[in-house]
Amino acid sequence: MKKLIGIIFIAYSVLWTGSANAATFYLPDTTVARVEFYSSQFTIYLDKNFPANSCRTAPSGAVAMDSATEPGKSHMAALLTAMVSGKKVNMYARDNLCSGDRMTIDHFNIDN
C-alpha cells in the first residue's frame, strides 16, 4: 500500500512540476503593432504590456509561435491580416512554453 501511494504521489508531482509558476494570460483588445520573422518562428509585438513568469527575458509586449508547422502557419497569416486591417485581437498566451524567450500564443480570436 505504501508503494502504491508513493507511486501515485510521484506521478502527480511529475505532472505538476514546472507548471506551478506557469500561467496563461488573457490579452483582450490588443492590436498587432509589429511582426518579426526568425527562420521558423515569428514574433508578434502587441500594443499592450503584460507580465511573464518563466519567460523572464521576454519583451513585455511580445508573443511568439513556431511557423514551421500548423497551426503556426495559419495563425501567422491570420495575425498578419489583423495587423494590416487594424482589427483588435483577443489573445491567450502561455509562459510555460517559451518560444525562444517569448511567451507562446495559445489561441486567439479577431474582433469584427
> Per-domain residue ranges for the chain?
22-110
Helices (H) and strands (E) in the chain, counts: 2, 5
58 pLDDT band, cuts 50/70/90, is low
CA 77 to chain centroid: 16
Which CATH number, 1.10.540.10, 3.40.50.80, 1.10.3720.10, 2.40.50.110, labels domain 22-110?
2.40.50.110
Q: What is the pLDDT of residues 77-103, one digit of tens each?
A: 888 888 899 899 998 887 766 666 677
- Between these two residues, 49 and 79, which has the higher pLDDT value? 79
* Phi, psi of 10, rounded to the nearest 5 degrees: -65, -40
